[in-house]
Copies of this chain bind each other. A is one copy, B any other.
Amino acid sequence: MPGKFYSKENLKFLLHEVFPVAELCQREHFKDHTPESFDMMLEAADSLSTNHLRPILPEMDRNPPYIENGRIKVHPDMRKLMKMFGEDGWISMSASHEFGGQQVPFTVLQAAAFIMAAANYSTMAYPFLSTGSAHLIETFGSKELQRTFIPKMFSGAWQGTMALTEPQAGSSLTDIVTTAKPTDKGYYLLKGQKIFISCGDHDGCDNVIHLMLARIEGAPPGTKGISLFVVPRMRPDGNGLVFNDVNTAGLFHKMGYHGAPIAHLIMGEKSDCRGYLVGEPHKGLSYMFQMMNEARIGVGMQATSIATAAYYNSLEYANVRQQGRKITDKDPGKPQISIIQHADVKRLLLFQKSIVEGSLALGLQASLYYDNWHTTEGEEKENNFLKLELLTPIMKSYPAEMSILTTSAALQCFGGYGYTKDFLAELFFRETRIHTLHEGVTAIHGMDLLGRKVTMQGGKATMLLMQEVFGDIERAKNSALLKPYAVQLEKELERLQEVTMHLIGKAQSEGAEVFLADATLYLELFGILTLGWQWIKQGVKAEELQKAQTKNYSAEFLQSKQHALQYFFEYEVPKIAGLITRLKSNNPLTVKVKEEEIV
């Protein structure tokens, strides 16, 4: 039996108390569901994770994928797991009935995926990459593409991928050069290279379906000339599959995430790589943003998953490991105490808890906006969309950046053992490091937040979000316990607004480069405040339940929420002061300094 890697009680608290997903069941699209059916789904995710995913985590880490005869080999269980992911409906869970899906809310699916990623991050990359890429075909593809590819992807027989990155372009999608040459037979001939393609080739499936960005010959330069294609590794041809000239040129060896391969692919070496256009020409990037935005919420959630697993791992150790004595009681004749009794170990634990539970709440909040956006109409729909847009770069990046620190804190709890492979702490620390990199490095999301999201529609998204936050602050002010923190958050939000205005002023007076130079810090500032908000929400709900003397949650769990809230406001929120000082500085150092003067 693996140790605890997430908290069922917390997930229940968030989904049933803080973000009552029960309300979603009243919507037409989700009408087949009940809170109980959601719980059953999470139980199934728990069972799959506990029995199949977590047990193979250490051996997956020790045995990363490898190439044999030009093909990538992964852990032998992956074929069985792909089948399970398919048969148990995980891949198609959020898809509509039309495609054989179960129309499960995105929020609930994210919660299930959170459990799986906490158990074994690599293994859950496979099914949910298929979900996201199939969703592109569902939304933008022709009936024929849908018929041909979706059922096989949903069954787990065929793997879906997103194929964007190229060696010379990296994050700069403007510069992708893979070409698509039209033919008179309805398909295009693709030629080019893609790198860092997660699950881009592996022997756990029968075929790989790439949702790939490429330029149709003669297309305009830049992002306005990018189209989206379905490019299978093996193309259906008559009754069988024919090799589609998608070659596995290499496999990247990496510092963690060893269970899933990331591939280097070369298309069209024999000029026989067929791609099938999705939607209209030159609109590929806007389509791809559907998957990218979903994946960005996912990345933040997965960083949170790994960090959550690290938290429980270190919490368990801190409770059993005996070492040292209280500062006030150094008598060597007395037995040693469990290290959780040392104040600094409590600090390392509360730090982790405040970040991972705050991040999980934020991820579910964003997911709820996603579901609301998709299942409401008019202004409500638009408002939820805007709030989701605003939170997306924050949810992508803040939990990812913080997970580096929290998994490091988890490792620190183990002392010297944390550096060894005797425990999983070092694995979590390596594993989560990918999340500030893939789906766009943090700097890109900082610029997205400050340069686009905050200012779009005259700042409407920020205004809508703040309305909601201030509503929650008002509720918290009714509690003697929470009022000081609610007031603190309110004050800090005013300072955020001042900083935003200051920066927008800079945009006008000194131009875009100075405006955005410290966008990463701005994102951190905004991230801290959104987590503060999520803690206020949780604190209010926990206190309600405490006062009602509920039997649905343990007293320790509810009290623990108040401790983590206090930790966040005592230790994390004060960090804002330093960020604000820098953001308000008039020294545009990183713009001003010449490259050759960094030596």
Contacts and interface: CB of A to CB of B under 8 A. Distances in A.
B416 A590 contact: no
Contacts of A257: 419
A460 to B, nearest CB: 23
Contacts of A420: 252-255
Given A332-B222, A578-B575, A437 B408 contact: no
A1 interface: no
Q: How many copies does the complex hold?
A: 2
Contact of A446 (B323, B344, B578): B344
Contact of A578 (B343, B566, B574): B574
A415 interface: yes
Contacts of A556: 596-597, 599
Interface stretch (A154-162, A471-479, A533-541, A579-587): A579-587
Contacts of A9: 599
A57 to B, nearest CB: 15
A163 interface: no
Contacts of A517: 343-344, 347
A279 B61 CA distance: 48
Interface string A197-215: 0000000000000000000
B574 A442 contact: no
Contacts of A223: 332
Contacts of A433: 408, 411, 419, 426, 429
A277 B537 CA distance: 63
B332 A221 contact: yes
Interface string A75-103: 00000000000000000000000000000
Interface string A421-465: 110001001100110111001110011000100000000000000
Given A222-B332, A430-B255, A443-B344, A350 B415 contact: no
Given A327-B513, A349-B598, A563-B598, A589 B570 contact: yes
Identify which of A343, A345, A554, A577 gathers the most chain B CB atoms within 10 Å of its CB.
A343
A171 B413 CA distance: 12
Nearest to A438: B416
Interface size grouping (class) on chain A: 35 or more
A589 B563 contact: yes
A347 B578 CA distance: 16
Given A517-B344, A556-B597, A581-B574, A416 B332 contact: no
Contacts of A196: 416
Given A253-B420, A574-B578, A513 B175 contact: no
A338 interface: yes
Contacts of A63: none
A16 interface: no
A172 B590 contact: no
A312 to B, nearest CB: 9
A142 interface: no
Contacts of A340: 595, 598
Interface in A383-413: 404, 408, 411-412
B404 A408 contact: yes
Nearest to A595: B340
Contacts of A512: 327-328
Contact of A350 (B353, B585, B598): B598
A341 interface: yes
A342 interface: yes
A433 B353 CA distance: 22
A266 B408 CA distance: 31
Contact of A571 (B451, B574, B582, B596): B582
Given A255-B421, A323-B172, A421-B254, A350 B578 contact: no
Given A253-B421, A599-B560, A590 B319 contact: no
Contacts of A330: 174, 222
Q: Which of A165, A442, A578 has the most CB of B within 10 A?
A: A578
Contacts of A595: 319, 338, 340-341, 346
B172 A336 contact: yes
Contact of A252 (B411, B422, B518): B422
A196 B417 CA distance: 9
Interface in A456-513: 511-513
A431 to B, nearest CB: 10
17 contacts: A174-B324, A221-B332, A222-B330, A252-B421, A327-B447, A338-B595, A343-B591, A347-B590, A349-B598, A350-B589, A350-B590, A419-B438, A554-B599, A556-B599, A567-B589, A574-B577, A575-B575
